[in-house]
């Protein structure tokens, strides 16, 4: 089971998600006071006959929620076998299903960083949402999808080169732009950490790459400053990793880059 807490003025929404009997289980609570005072408002399952696994959730200020994951209940390969697809499901504040979408592009659960799946971010005006993940096109590329709040696919973009590229995180900027972060094998002899910015209309604004690291997270401050985190192998210590934290301007200029470590192993995946 996973969880996410979304903070809004005067309200906190806690969303738990898990796999239950092959379906997504969404349990949404409205938090009042301390954690001990949580009240379960709704519990909803979603899915089909296959495996439906949630990976991320975003909550709007009205209490509606967007659950993103991989589902193989509704898509099939050329042999008629179930295959995974990125699922985007919106629930109303009362837990009822508002809409559901399945992106039919080919995908699979990412391998560059273990258990990563699709990620989601709401635009500041909550009129659209960005979903990042992985597509098997062009020897596996990062993919970025933009949906309206009504569930319409507005555009889709891929990013990468001739080898493995995977987006592990997405964030929205104050101007409605989108930032994806992840790992790429396409541009150097070793795995690299990338951050790419797309404008609100889907144009690639810039891309930055750091060799010898893997990308796991990205966030944008209210002032448009970009923060990204990844991990890199610890020098002369086989199998151990350190956190790599980066700050950039919204135009892609590096503000600072720091490495942090403690104990035997630490990385931006929470290990």
> pLDDT tens for residues 184-221?
999 988 889 999 999 999 999 999 999 989 899 999 99
pLDDT digits (tens, 9 = 90+) for 227-238: 999 988 887 767
**CA–CA separation, 134 vs 141, rounded Å?**
6
For range 162-170, the mean pLDDT: 91
Cβ atoms of 31 and 4 within 8 Å: the answer is: no
**CA–CA separation, 124 vs 101, rounded Å?**
22
pLDDT score of 266 more than 60: no
Per-residue model confidence (pLDDT) at position 240:
78
Neighbouring CB atoms inside 10 A of 235's CB total 9
pLDDT digits (tens, 9 = 90+) for 6-47: 444 444 444 454 554 455 555 544 444 455 566 777 788 888
pLDDT digits (tens, 9 = 90+) for 124-150: 999 999 999 989 888 889 999 999 999
For range 93-99, the mean pLDDT: 93
pLDDT band at 168 (very low <50, low <70, confident <90, very high): very high
Residue with tokens 């970025």: 144
Q: Work out the mean pLDDT of the chain and round it to a whole number.
A: 83
pLDDT score of 243 more than 50: yes
Stated pTM of the model: 0.83
């Amino acid at each position: 089971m996973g969880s996410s807490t979304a903070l809004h003025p005067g309200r906190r929404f806690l969303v738990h998600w898990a796999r239950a009997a092959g379906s997504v289980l969404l349990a949404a609570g409205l938090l009042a006071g301390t954690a001990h005072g949580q009240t379960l408002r709704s519990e909803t399952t979603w899915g089909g006959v296959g495996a439906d696994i949630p990976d991320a959730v975003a909550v709007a200020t009205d209490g509606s929620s967007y659950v993103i994951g991989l589902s193989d209940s509704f898509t099939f390969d050329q042999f008629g076998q179930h295959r995974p697809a990125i699922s985007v499901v919106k629930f109303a504040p009362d837990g009822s299903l508002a809409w559901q979408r399945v992106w039919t592009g080919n995908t699979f659960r990412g391998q560059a960083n273990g258990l990563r799946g699709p990620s989601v971010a709401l635009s500041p005006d909550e009129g659209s949402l960005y979903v990042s993940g992985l597509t098997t096109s062009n020897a596996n590329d990062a993919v970025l999808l933009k949906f309206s709040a009504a569930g319409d696919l507005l555009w889709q973009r891929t990013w990468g080169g001739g080898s493995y590229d995977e987006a592990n995180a997405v964030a929205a900027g104050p101007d409605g732009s989108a930032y994806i972060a992840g790992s790429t094998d396409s541009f150097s002899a070793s795995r690299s950490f990338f951050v790419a910015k797309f404008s609100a209309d889907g144009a690639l604004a810039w891309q930055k790459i750091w060799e010898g690291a893997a990308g796991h997270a990205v966030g944008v401050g209210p002032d448009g400053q970009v923060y990204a985190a990844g991990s890199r192998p610890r020098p002369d210590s086989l199998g151990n990793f350190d956190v790599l934290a980066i700050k950039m301007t919204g135009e892609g200029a590096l503000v600072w880059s720091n490495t942090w470590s403690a104990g035997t192993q630490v990385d931006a995946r929470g290990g």
